[in-house]
Amino acid sequence: MLCPRCQRPLIPLFTSLACDHCDGLDEVEYEHGFVVLLEDATFPTGPTYVFRTRTDAARWRAAQGLQQLPIREVLSEVPLRWRKSTGTIPDLELADRPFTIHEDHRFPPEDHGAFLAPGHRSAA
């Protein structure tokens, strides 16, 4: 690009880019679920069960002998498809597949990805 006055080359000085999603400006409807989170979890987590209610997560946590672990709310941009458990803990409602859990909403889109809801609400 040339200077309109002297026709010499112009030097770009500023370039700015922004991501509305990362900056929290997107208007997104999130689905809610609950996970039992390892205290030393590193993010993103490996495959993690997502439960429909805090009660379902607490029942699974108790059956696994993991009462010391917190239950955290997670959010997902993709619809969560719920199913009833058929294993040793009957009638738990959980997502149709395990999810990868991220620390916050800033991660690439994926079919089974969710993130921790803001705040640190957990259940004992």
Query: 64-102, pLDDT tens digit by residue?
Result: 999 999 999 999 999 999 999 988 899 999 999 999 999
What is the domain count for the chain? 1
Question: 49 near 95, Cβ under 8 Å?
Answer: yes
Residue 86 lies in a domain: yes
For 93, list phi and psi in degrees, rounded to 5: -105, 125
Please give the helix or strand (H or E) that residue 63 lies within, else none. helix 54-63
Residue 107 lies in a domain: yes
Res. 13 pLDDT band, cuts 50 70 90: confident
Residue 3 lies in a domain: no
DSSP code for 95: E
Residue 26 lies in a domain: no
Range of the domain at 55: 31-116
Q: How far is CA 70 from the centre of its chain?
A: 16
Residue 38 lies in a domain: yes
- Show Cβ contacts of residue 9 under 8 Å, excluding neighbours closer than 6 positions: 1, 2, 3
pTM for the full predicted model: 0.81
Find the CATH number of the domain harbouring 89: 3.20.170
